[in-house]
Amino acid sequence: MVARYASIAAALAAGATALLVPRDESSFGSTPGVLSLPVYQDIRLHPLEKLRRRAVSDTDVPVINVTSTTYLIELDIGTPGQDTKVALDTGSSELWVNPNCQKAGSTQQAQSCRANGQYDPDNSRTSVVYQNTGRIKYGKGEVALQYVADNITLPGSDIDLSQVIFGYATDSVDLNRGILGLSFGENKNNTGYPTVVEEMKAQNVIESLTMGIALGTKDEPTGSGLISFGGVDTKKFSGNLHSAPILGPQNGESLWRYWVQLDSIALSKSGSSKTTYSNSQFPVFFDTGATLSYFPSAVVPISEFIWEVSDNACVLGADKASDGSYLLGDSFLRSAYVVFDQETPALHFAPYVNCGTNLQKIPLGANAAAKFSGECSASNSSSGSGNSKNTAGRASVSSLWLLAGGRACLSFKHNVIQRLAFHA
């Protein structure tokens, strides 16, 4: 979740447009019109201050050994290239780099921040620094930005994006890595300049404003995930891609996000039939920048998402949201292959299974991505990701992340979200 405090002036966008250098399609790799990059997992083990314990009393208990996973890609920015890693975030629109590592949070987060690399426009002979500034506030943390245009090389490819506009941090708090925002941009007036994905289309790198994302499971080696700009990988899912139209801005915002209508939630418990919850029709958005999923507490009691994994620990895969910002984060998205389609606009999704790689270009046209079918069998287990619980409508124990101490928070065992139904 992100709120913009300032936007780029129209003059900045106009100045950048004059610098665009469209690429010749002959320079592409083996799949013209598609750019694919590996997605790396950054798994961090860290304590949280406290967690509300449910049931008997409203008592604070310590939380131990909490892991969070961020999904990163590498970029080479400037001339010569300066390597930096940025987090994939479908909940925001802008690319920015250079967080303030001294204000990143814990010692471990500061170390991670420094390891992700920094960009200095003074060390690039192709940088153009603008006077425009901005500020972005996220669910946790915020950043003040100075805007710059520079070339971006995508590692592992021969693709050079010319004079892409992005921000470099002049200050930040509680952020230990830069962010590549993948939400709507200038096409929906979210930004006053073209986003990285819009530049890919403008510079003839991709044909359509689409992205196929497979985060990969925690059981797979880092780098097993894949983001395919302008394309779909038919060996990263099984069955057909199911589509849900993207809604307009929600919650009084003016920004477009990947909101779709959730029609129902069903939950199953070990040894019992599934329960479908009433009043479970509400908008949710798909957010790779969020570790958990957030639902209204009135729909599904938070106790239903907590179950025992040992004598003194439980796991939590979802939390309650009180501000209407209901979302499906990585605890869900690790189990799904999702195509984020800004052309239609719509989301297309299927159960994630990894049986190799076969990139296909998504052509222009409404719902063009929905015409592709997965080549993997639902029972394929070559990557450890193809078991029956690993579906686009199911979040299993393996995809959950929060480990809490204290038996008082325990009630149910082996609960899973069995089905999330979306409005087609």
State the CB neighbour count (10 A cutoff) for residue 208.
23
Q: Looking at 150, 287, 330, 341, which residue is catalytic?
A: 287
Tokens of 423: 């409005």
Spatial separation of the C-alpha atoms in residues 114 and 177, rounded to whole Å? 9
Q: What DSSP character marks residue 25?
A: G
Residue among 31, 27, 35, 30 nearest 229 (CA): 35
Q: Which residues contact 104 (CB under 8 A, 6 or more apart)?
A: 110, 112, 113, 172, 174, 175, 176
Residue among 359, 335, 328 nearest 238 (CA): 335
Contact 136, 183 (CB under 8 A): no
Spatial separation of the C-alpha atoms in residues 339 and 361, rounded to whole Å? 12
CA distances from 92 to 181, 230, 344, 365 (A): 5, 19, 19, 24
Residue among 38, 100, 110 nearest 74 (CA): 38
Q: What DSSP character marks residue 362?
A: P
Q: Which residues contact 346 (CB under 8 A, 6 or more apart)?
A: 243, 244, 245, 246, 367, 369, 370
Q: What DSSP character marks residue 17?
A: H
Q: Looking at 76, 89, 233, 330, which residue is catalytic?
A: 89
Exposure on the CB side of residue 56, measured as CA atoms within 13 A? 9
Q: Is 89 an active-site residue?
A: yes
Q: Can you name the residues that pair with 350 across neighbouring β-strands?
A: 337
Cα of first residue to Cα of last residue in the chain, in angstroms, is: 24
Residue among 165, 169, 395 nearest 295 (CA): 395
CA distances from 133 to 37, 253, 392 (A): 29, 22, 40
Spatial separation of the C-alpha atoms in residues 205 and 207, rounded to whole Å? 7
Active site residues per annotation:
89, 287
